[in-house]
């Protein structure tokens, strides 16, 4: 699961850089768009970065729980977190044209999947192991 999170995290980071290029080469310039459209582009761009960073961090540090409900909760949370960047990338390309008053469900759904997935990981890990108070000496 760590490897998948890392791959998706790195791919989403690349997508973040590319969406930044899309905004910088947009015609008309994003800075010249009305504030509501500019806000939609920038917010979806930042949401994508958040999902990329969460996946990358899990790819580097995730420790799966032993079999049981905690592991199941982690796996379910990971599936939600893995889908989040894909949904948010779609939101970046589709939702800005709706403006703030539009009915874009993708950005909302992408952030909810990220939030619920992270909370599932939190619940799965709370109380699962004691705090390590030993010091590591080089």
pLDDT digits over 62-107, tens only?
Answer: 988 888 899 999 999 999 999 999 999 998 888 777 777 666 788 8
- % of the chain exceeding 90 in pLDDT: 52
Least confident of 7-11, 42-46, 111-115: 42-46
d(CA 41, CA 24) in angstroms, rounded, equals 11
Is there a domain that residue 68 lies in?
yes
What is the number of domains present in the chain?
A: 1
The token pair at 121 is 């990981």
Query: Residue 35 above 80 pLDDT?
Result: no
Is there a domain that residue 64 lies in?
yes
Is there a domain that residue 131 lies in?
no
The token pair at 32 is 């010249």
Is there a domain that residue 130 lies in?
no
Is there a domain that residue 136 lies in?
no
Mean pLDDT computed over every residue of the chain: 86
Could you give the dihedral angle defined by the CA atoms of residues 105, 107, 111 and 113, in that order, rounded to the nearest 10 degrees? 50
Is there a domain that residue 107 lies in?
yes
Task: Supply the range of the domain harboring residue 33.
Answer: 2-125
d(CA 70, CA 58) in angstroms, rounded, equals 16
């Amino acid at each position: 699961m760590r490897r998948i999170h890392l791959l998706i995290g790195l791919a989403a980071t690349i997508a973040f850089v590319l969406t930044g290029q899309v905004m910088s080469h947009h015609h008309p310039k994003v800075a010249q768009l009305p504030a509501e459209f500019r806000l939609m582009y920038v917010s979806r761009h930042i949401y994508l970065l958040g999902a990329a960073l969460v996946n990358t961090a899990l790819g580097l540090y995730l420790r799966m729980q032993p079999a049981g409900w905690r592991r199941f909760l982690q796996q379910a949370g990971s599936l939600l977190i893995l889908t989040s960047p894909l949904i948010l990338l779609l939101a970046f390309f589709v939702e800005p044209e709706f403006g703030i008053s539009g009915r874009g469900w993708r950005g909302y759904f992408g952030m909810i999947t990220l939030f619920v997935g992270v909370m599932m990981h939190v619940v799965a890990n709370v109380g699962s192991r004691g705090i390590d108070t030993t010091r590591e000496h080089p």
